[in-house]
Amino acid sequence: MFTLQITPSFSDTDMLGHINNTVIPVWCETARRPIFELFNPGLVADQWNLIVARIEMDFINQIDFKPVVEVKTAIERIGNSSFTVIQEIWQNELKVAIVRSVLVHFSYKANKAVHLPQDVRSKLVPLLQS
């Protein structure tokens, strides 16, 4: 598991005074950067080999503007060509959201899913949620 601290931006709030729900996928994408680097260390566009197939978000508590937020990222499932990232968002020691993202190892040239390479798989395994 790895953790990213995020300072909410004022523009992340909405007129209800809390963080808008559409901000959560952005924070989670930012926090998935170390996983992107396992697949594409240079984070270079023409070698990108992941695509998002599905995202599930559960909003548990309202998120405030002021306190820093923590995104905890782990792997929940490893399949043949896809895997599921599980992310928890915490604020003030309260779990405020859970996000599951299904990422597919993908060839943008062939436009199809590709089996996970063994070397990347072996780096994902230690990240499996215990």
Report how far apart the first and last C-alpha atoms of the chain are (Å, whole number).
9
* Closest distance to a copy of itself from the beta carbon of 3 (Å): 13
CA angle (33, 56, 100) in 5-degree steps: 45
Give the C-alpha separation, 130 to 118, whole Å. 21
With CB under 8 A as the contact rule, the residue among 3, 14, 80, 117 that binds a copy of itself is 14
Residue that is written with structure tokens 């499996």 in the block: 128
Stretch touching a copy of itself by CB under 8 A, among 42-50, 79-87, 88-96, 119-127:
42-50
Residues within the interface to a copy of itself (CB under 8 A)? 4, 7-11, 13-18, 20-23, 25-27, 29-30, 32-33, 36, 42-43, 45, 48, 51-59, 62, 65-66, 108
